[in-house]
Structure 1
Amino acid sequence: MSTDDTLRVGAHTSIAGGVQNAVTEQLEYGGNCGQIFSSSPQVWAGPSIDDEDAAAFRDLTAEHGVGPWVVHTSYLVNLCTPKDGLREKSLHSMQEEVDTASRLGIEYVNVHLGAHTGAGVEGGLANAVSVLDDVEVPDDVTILVESDAGSGTKLGGQFWHLGQVCDESHHDLEVCVDTAHAWAAGYDLSTPEGVDETVEEFDSEVGLDRLACFHLNDSKHGRGTNKDEHAHVGLGEIGEEGMRAVVNHPALQDVPFVLETPTEDGKSFEWNVQRVRELRET
């Protein structure tokens, strides 16, 4: 197992029973960074985290040196939508998320660009910039736009989508790359050579200086299928060689890896966190 002290790896954890429980759960997995939902991601319900729990989360995070943390926005948010009603709901939800992140001392809020649903790629990207620019982002919070698997009219499957949104927004946006999504969108992450090429393309289209986080997930489906279904690290279609190449790539040594792997086949988040540590070369 790796004893590389620079490796930041953790999992998506639950805030059930109090947001501070996410820190305890992370420690049980052996993680030292992580991600949460601030409320149910399936409904338009804002966060309801009281000040006492928020303080307990901040204290436990500091005490155990866990971080960075990421707040993942609701799955209902669609920044690219041409529909005014959905735009307003998405904007309201984004504002709640960045404000909550600031209360919790969490530096990142991660969001998918969403689907343009007929507005076209350029129209959808412009819509996303418009929504993001209307969010009042606290000084201690950074919004991350996440790479997507690219099914249907969803945007973010191509790195240039992310780069264009970052370039055109007046906020200093950064990016979260999901390995399963990038693979599904056509990027080769299964070999060291493929990872090198993918990293080079990301640097060209977005900039490595904007890469803040990885969602480290293997995939149950083939490259370029646009199918988003995660697998355990090293046991999916990307495979062990590809996962090893990602976690050891020289340009990615300081990037935190957050797992959204399944809990099935007798393998938990703890198994996947340990697997990443084993793959990391010292």
Structure 2
Amino acid sequence: MQVGAHVSVSSSRVSSDEETPPYDNIRNAVHRQLAFGGNCGQIFTTSPQVWKTRNIDDEEAEAFREGTEESDVGPWVIHSAYLVNLATPKDDLTEKSRESMQAEVDAAGKLGIDYVNVHLGAHTGAGVDQGLDNAAATLDSLDVPEGVTLLVESDAGSGTKLGGEFEHLAEVIDRAEQDLAVCLDTAHAFSAGYDLSSAGAVEETLAEFDDVVGFEKLACVHLNDSKHDCGTNKDEHAHIGKGKIGEDGMHAFINHDAIRDVPLVLETPTENGKGFAWNIERVRELRE
């Protein structure tokens, strides 16, 4: 079973026996994932809140690749910066988004990371069709290294954001020349109106996903419970089985035939005495 968390690459330690360099280093992700009990995971290469790319030197990249191989951790996902907006009609924002995404796929190639994950963004009034065209065009402008796959992520669907409907994901895949795949976020899908709170609801939602997008395009799952009800478009994650999706829904989702071999990456909170280690163990307990 492949389950892990979105981990930091910062120099701060998770535990006293964790060996991390005294500076931010991509290789820290491997130590941190193991400390949480994960065997796959996700990272930011730099702060997701600023337009800043990070130079990853050869030594740092080699240390990450060697640590990943020696620890048998993977696959890894790079999550793009939050500022990236593929659907925007604004030329300056499109160029910044393209430059940021090119840096991420280049980093993935250097680090031997399989996936770069990105939200489609918001069309901000340009309309759904134009926004989807914009997103596809920006993705097509990228020079993606061999072995790296771009993932478009499902969204909670608030405002003019795209990705809240499975059709948006399918349309971008169809319109783009890049070979794209999908990251399905359970909390986002639930908040967007796709019920996952019972075995029957999981079966119905995943059947719709297969019909619209296709399970063959599902490369990764962001496994998160939701603090808000289905269809509220509110994006706030909860501990596995402790939110509105709940234990029954999470159990059904994790054990669905279409999900069993898909990497599960947690973005659950650290609160109420629970963190990534607790949530990863809970997922393993729910898997039959």
- The aligned counterpart of 1:57 is 64
Q: SS at the partner of 1:251? A: coil
Counterparts of 1:97 and 1:30, CA distance in 2: 26
Question: What is the Cα-based RMSD across aligned positions, in Å?
Answer: 0.6
Unaligned runs of 5+ in 2: 11-23
**Residue in structure 1 matched with residue 272 of structure 2 by the alignment:** 265
Task: Say which SS state the counterpart of residue 258 (structure 2) adopts.
Answer: helix
Determine which of 203, 227, 234 is the counterpart of 1:196: 203
Q: Given that residues 39 and 48 in structure 1 are in contact (C-alpha distance below 8 angstroms), is that contact kept between their aligned partners in structure 2?
A: no
1:129 alignment counterpart: 136
Deviations 1:206-251 (CA, angstroms, capped at 9, x unpaired): 1100000000000000000000000000000000000111110011
1:144 aligns with 2:151: yes
Q: How many angstroms does 1:125 deviate by?
A: 0.5
C-alpha separation between the residues in 1 aligned to 2:154 and 2:60? 31
DSSP-derived class of the 1:252 partner: coil
Runs of 4+ in 1 over 3 A off after TM superposition: none
Residue matched to 1:33: 40
1:12 aligns with 2:6: yes
* TM-score, length of structure 1 as denominator length: 0.97
Structure 1 position 276, deviation (Å): 0.2
Deviations 1:101-151 (A, max 9, x none): 010000100000000001101110010001001011111100000000000
Task: Say whether residues 1:72 and 2:79 are aligned partners.
Answer: yes
Question: Which AA in structure 2 matches 1:280?
Answer: R
Three-state SS of the structure 2 residue aligned to 1:130 is helix
Q: Which amino acid aligns with 2:159?
A: G
1:166 matched residue in structure 2: 173
Q: SS of the counterpart of 2:184?
A: strand
Task: Give, as a single letter, the amino acid of the residue that structure 2 aligns with 1:103.
Answer: K
Report the Cα offset of residue 277 of structure 1.
Answer: 0.3
Instruction: Show the 5 A alignment for 1:180-191.
Output: 180-191=187-198
What's the TM-score once normalised by structure 2's chain length?
0.95
Asked if 1:246 is matched to 2:240, the reply is: no
Q: Which whole-Å CA distance do the structure 1 matches of 2:285 and 2:119 have between them?
A: 30
Runs of 5+ consecutive residues of structure 1 not aligned to the other structure = 1-6
- 1:167: how far off? 1.1
- Count of residues paired in the alignment: 275
Give the residue type in structure 2 aligned to 1:275.
R
> 1:3 corresponds to which residue?
none
Q: Find the residue that maps to 1:15 and give its secondary structure.
A: coil
Corresponding letter in the other structure for 1:88 = E
Contact 1:70–1:106 under 8 Å retained in 2: yes
Q: Greater CA deviation, 96-105 or 42-51?
A: 42-51
